[in-house]
Structure 1
């Protein structure tokens, strides 16, 4: 069976497509808040990541 035929007959794929095309579901999804990407990390997280990098670097040097 070719890949396109397998996708057409996959019940999960079919169900997901139905869910996305359902008008009530579309209204619900459009009502959700939009998310934005924040380019900066909070300072506590940045500090922890720097400590982790330093520890990994010292471990590799052994």
Structure 2
């Protein structure tokens, strides 16, 4: 038996799903930069990852990944 709290949580979850699934919310979320998909990783980040790989390889004595 779910009880009173279980029913309330289920209703809340359904309300959230319904609101998030509206076209207006989807349209709004698509405008936010956080939700945009980058096609390629920026060079600045790949350079930092390369430096991190090098530092880890130096520390552990292992070979670098490419």
TM-score (norm 1): 0.56
Structure 2 regions of 5+ residues with no counterpart?
none
* RMSD (CA atoms): 3.2
Q: Which has the higher contact order (CA 8 A, sep 6+)?
A: 2
Structure 1 regions of 5+ residues with no counterpart?
none
Q: CA deviation at 1:19?
A: 2.4
- Report matched runs for 1:15-54 at 5 Å: 15-22=12-19, 26-32=22-28, 33=30, 35-54=35-54
TM-score (norm 2): 0.54
Kindly report structure 1 stretches of 4+ aligned residues shifted beyond 6 Å.
none
